[in-house]
Amino acid sequence: MIRLRVVAAGLGAAVGVGFWTGFRSTSQVFGPFPFRGQTQERVVALTFDDGPNEPYTSRLLDVLDERGIRATFFQVGRCAERFPSTTRRIVDTGHVLGNHSFSHAFSHYLSEPRQRFEVDRAQEVLQRIAGVTPALYRPPWLCHPPWVLNTLHERRLQVVSGTFGHPLEIFQPPAQMMAAGADKIASPGSMIIFHDGREARGGPRHQTVAAIGPLIDRLQNRGYRFATVDQLLDVPAYL
């Protein structure tokens, strides 16, 4: 009995380690999963996942537009249906719109037909709302098993990973703390991940919004400029 339990615990740990190894943001185990641009220049991409989510996405856009900085927004189809004018503004003002699935539901990634639907439905929604068909896809939770990569390959979508701006962002720690943390991890070619929403549910993002201005100041003081993900990876933004 004890031996069985040890075996079960061992198996559990192995699955856990395998999961972590396969799905962490820098993992290339299942195929190319770019998390940074190949450059020595001081240039980074600011990216925002899980929106649109108002009023936070519009406030972020105000900060970025005031400073003339273009960012990349990986949006959830269901959220874009909720705030279509925000999704349109992203494209109209020269930011880049990427696909981040239709419903951001983890269970949908475990079945191949369901995750195909997630990719395709989000493409339809974003196309209908913003008039562009994204060529960039960031999987929810950066979950990229082989069947997801196959679907993306078939759809001519570029899979995109990145580096989390702050590990505790979900708990919304003080903005200055997040700005300092993201400044510390930024290096040439970084694609820094923030969240203007939470999965498909929205929720408060005051501290994320407040962190972006100070982060831009810090990076600019270190000589950094800003690019969009398509520019960093040298791929098209839209199909």
What does the binding site for Zn ion look like in residue numbers (CB under 5 A)? 49-50, 140
Least separation in angstroms between CB 106 and Zn ion? 10
* Residue sitting closest to Zn ion (CB): 49
Amino acid at 97: L
Gap between the Cα atoms of 127 and 10, Å rounded:
46
| Geometric angle at alpha carbon 104, from 102 and 107, rounded to 5° | 115
Least separation in angstroms between CB 73 and Zn ion? 11
End-to-end CA distance of the chain: 57
Output 95 or 198, the one with its CB closest to Zn ion.
198
Least separation in angstroms between CB 77 and Zn ion? 12
Gap between the Cα atoms of 97 and 88, Å rounded:
9
Question: By C-alpha distance, which of 153, 207, 201 is closest to 51?
Answer: 201
Output 50 or 230, the one with its CB closest to Zn ion.
50
| Geometric angle at alpha carbon 165, from 160 and 166, rounded to 5° | 135
Least separation in angstroms between CB 142 and Zn ion? 8
Cα 184 vs. chain centroid, distance in angstroms?
19
Output 86 or 224, the one with its CB closest to Zn ion.
86
Output 49 or 169, the one with its CB closest to Zn ion.
49
Least separation in angstroms between CB 25 and Zn ion? 12
Widest pairwise Cα distance in the chain = 65
Which 8-state DSSP code applies to residue 111?
S
